[in-house]
């Protein structure tokens, strides 16, 4: 294949990352003056040298110190301005929670949900927690089903933000009766009842870990919801009402989160009562409820083994046969995605029941990682992930509550020299542009070789 022509780059080491960055800077500045953006000619270095320079650009941060220093001050100002703008928007959202329009209140709840899940706002919320709690209480009492569901989620996020201290406990004691009333109200919307079940479990887990009475009451309430899916005296599963499997799943998952707080004496009673009944619920027609049941069985078995190394599930052979059939389920009348999800989960449950084998998962955030190495840890992580959604990694990095729960210690504070070497947005753009050119040339080089062979 013919080689491309090589031209001059100007002064500096040919093909180095610094030269690429400087050239791109000049090009960017030229474009601001109306000159066409672009770089004439090709690098004098080989493709391998250029690729090597790109891959090692983080280690040569000292080369670009002057560029970084230029952007540091402006970035700090931008961050402060952005923080002030965010707080102004949040204040407006809190005001909108008291608006007469249901549409305005719902939009405000959604905005708060997004803000609470995506960043840590402890200082801002500590001063306004009573106002927000009052507004949430009003939405729970008088709002539509959609507004009640949104309000319950916002309240759960508020408890996570407040970190499980006295403020969160005070709010939970105030709103627990209302969450309970909606959860047991058969005339309330299913979405609102599901959201209240999740909020009740999370708020109790975060706020009332030291209060045994609140824990027992919450466990009993959630049990009353999902136990209606248990088989009757004849061993037959009841016919589910529309939406009830989703409600049962939410209640069961919230209950299993709280079970992780129970002492050994209480756990022994729960294992004897629920394991046989949950095994029968594996025959449910709803795939999501079957999965929730399977994960809860694995969690209870793990807790039982923690109490007693010789713990064994009653009629374990029958249970393993049932799990095996679900792990290899190929019924065509079920959706393909449902079958795939079910088989994956139940293979893990089966392997754990038979061999105590758990597939460890590593969650990366920032420069840290948290390891999910058991069913209890997975249930706790999944509960936070369900409420925080994509913001769970940010909270793992900065929220003292989550860091304490997962044993991560206080939030890391990067060294000042590291902060000083933070790459500006413009610098990142230049690095990405240079890296993209290097990758493109390297790929073209490989394609050329393949063409020669063929």
pLDDT tens per residue, range 102-159: 999 999 999 999 999 999 999 999 999 999 999 999 999 999 999 999 999 999 999 9
Tokens of 350: 């089966």
Kindly report the length of the chain.
454
Tell me the mean pLDDT in the region 63-91.
64
pTM, two decimals, is 0.74
pLDDT band at 85 (very low <50, low <70, confident <90, very high): confident
Tell me the mean pLDDT in the region 363-372.
93
Tell me the mean pLDDT in the region 30-56.
43
**pLDDT at site 332:** 57
- How would you classify residue 176: left for phi > 0, otherwise alpha for psi between -120 and 50, otherwise beta? alpha
Mean pLDDT of all residues in the chain?
A: 80
Top-confidence residue, 424 or 169: 169
Give the residue among 351, 352, 258 at the shortest CA–CA distance from 302: 352
Give the integer Cα–Cα distance in Å for 255 and 249: 10
Give the integer Cα–Cα distance in Å for 437 and 31: 19
Long-range CB pairs of 50-59 (<8 Å, 24+ gap) are 50/15, 50/20, 50/437, 50/438, 50/441, 51/438, 51/439, 51/442, 53/15, 53/16, 53/17, 53/20, 53/438, 54/17, 54/20, 54/431, 54/434, 54/435, 54/438, 56/17, 57/17, 57/431, 57/435
**pLDDT at site 9:** 35
Give the integer Cα–Cα distance in Å for 50 and 66: 22
Hey, is 364 helix, strand or coil? strand
pLDDT band at 167 (very low <50, low <70, confident <90, very high): confident
Enumerate domains of the chain plus CATH numbers: 85-229 (1.25.10.10), 262-359 (no CATH), 363-398 (no CATH)
**pLDDT at site 171:** 87
* Total Cβ atoms within 10 A of residue 114: 15
pLDDT band at 163 (very low <50, low <70, confident <90, very high): confident
> What is the secondary structure of 50-79 as a DSSP string?
HHHHHHTGGGGGGGGHHHHHHHHHHHHHHH
Question: Lowest-confidence range among 42-51, 199-208, 363-372?
Answer: 42-51
Alpha carbon 331 to its chain's center: 32
**pLDDT at site 414:** 65
**End-to-end Cα distance, the chain:** 12
> For 182-234, how does the pLDDT look when each residue is reduced to its tens digit (9 = 90+)?
999 999 999 999 999 999 999 999 986 555 888 999 999 999 999 999 998 88
Hey, is 371 helix, strand or coil? strand
415: which DSSP letter?
Answer: -
* Statement: residue 160 has pLDDT above 60: yes
Top-confidence residue, 290 or 21: 290
> Helix, strand, coil % (nearest 5) of the chain?
70, 0, 25
> For 378-429, how does the pLDDT look when each residue is reduced to its tens digit (9 = 90+)?
999 999 999 999 999 999 999 999 999 999 998 887 654 444 444 454 544 4
Give the integer Cα–Cα distance in Å for 201 and 419: 39
Are 198 and 205 contacting, i.e. CB atoms less than 8 angstroms apart? no
Residue 361's H or E segment, with its range, is strand 361-365
> For 242-271, how does the pLDDT look when each residue is reduced to its tens digit (9 = 90+)?
899 999 999 999 999 999 999 999 999 999
> For 285-319, how does the pLDDT look when each residue is reduced to its tens digit (9 = 90+)?
999 999 999 999 999 999 999 998 889 888 888 99
């Amino acid at each position: 294949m013919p080689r491309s022509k090589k031209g001059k780059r100007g002064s500096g080491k040919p093909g180095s990352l610094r030269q690429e960055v400087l050239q791109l800077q000049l090009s960017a500045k030229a474009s601001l003056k109306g000159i066409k953006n672009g770089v004439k000619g090709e690098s004098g270095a080989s493709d391998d040298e250029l690729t090597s320079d790109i891959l090692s650009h983080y280690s040569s941060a000292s080369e670009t110190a002057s560029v970084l220093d230029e952007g540091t001050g402006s970035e700090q100002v931008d961050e402060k301005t952005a923080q002030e703008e965010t707080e102004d928007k949040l204040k407006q959202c809190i005001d909108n929670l008291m608006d007469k329009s249901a549409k305005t209140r719902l939009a405000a709840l959604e905005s708060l949900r997004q803000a609470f899940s995506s960043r840590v706002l402890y200082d801002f919320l500590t001063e306004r927690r009573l106002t927000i709690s009052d507004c949430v209480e009003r939405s729970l009492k008088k709002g539509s089903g959609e507004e009640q569901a949104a309000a319950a989620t916002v309240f759960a996020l508020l408890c996570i933000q407040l970190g499980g201290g006295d403020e969160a406990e005070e709010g939970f004691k105030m709103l627990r009766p209302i969450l309970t009333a909606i959860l047991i109200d058969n005339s309330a919307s299913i979405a609102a009842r599901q959201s209240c079940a999740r909020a009740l479990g999370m708020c109790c887990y975060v706020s009332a870990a030291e209060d045994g009475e609140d824990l027992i009451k919450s466990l009993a309430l959630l049990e009353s919801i999902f136990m209606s899916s248990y088989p009757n005296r004849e061993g037959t599963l009841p016919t589910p009402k529309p939406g009830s499997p989703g409600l049962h799943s939410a209640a069961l998952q919230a209950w299993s989160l709280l079970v992780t707080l129970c002492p050994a004496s209480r756990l022994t009673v729960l294992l004897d009562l629920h394991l046989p009944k949950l095994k029968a619920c594996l025959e449910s027609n709803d795939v999501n409820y079957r999965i929730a049941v399977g994960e809860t069985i694995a969690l209870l078995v793990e807790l039982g083994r923690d109490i007693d190394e010789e713990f064994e599930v009653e009629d374990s052979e029958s249970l393993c046969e049932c799990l095996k059939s679900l792990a290899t389920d190929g019924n065509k009348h079920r959706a393909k995605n449902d079958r795939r999800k079910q088989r994956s989960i139940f293979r893990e449950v089966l392997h754990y029941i038979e061999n105590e084998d758990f597939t460890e998962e590593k969650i990366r955030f920032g420069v840290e990682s948290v390891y999910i190495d058991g069913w209890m840890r997975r249930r706790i992580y999944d509960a936070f992930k369900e409420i925080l959604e994509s913001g769970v990694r940010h909270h793992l990095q900065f929220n003292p509550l989550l860091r304490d729960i997962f044993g991560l210690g206080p939030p890391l504070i990067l060294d000042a020299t590291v902060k000083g070497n933070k790459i500006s947005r413009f610098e990142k753009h230049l690095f990405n542009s240079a890296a993209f050119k290097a990758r493109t040339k390297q790929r073209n080089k490989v394609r050329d070789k393949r063409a020669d062979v063929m």
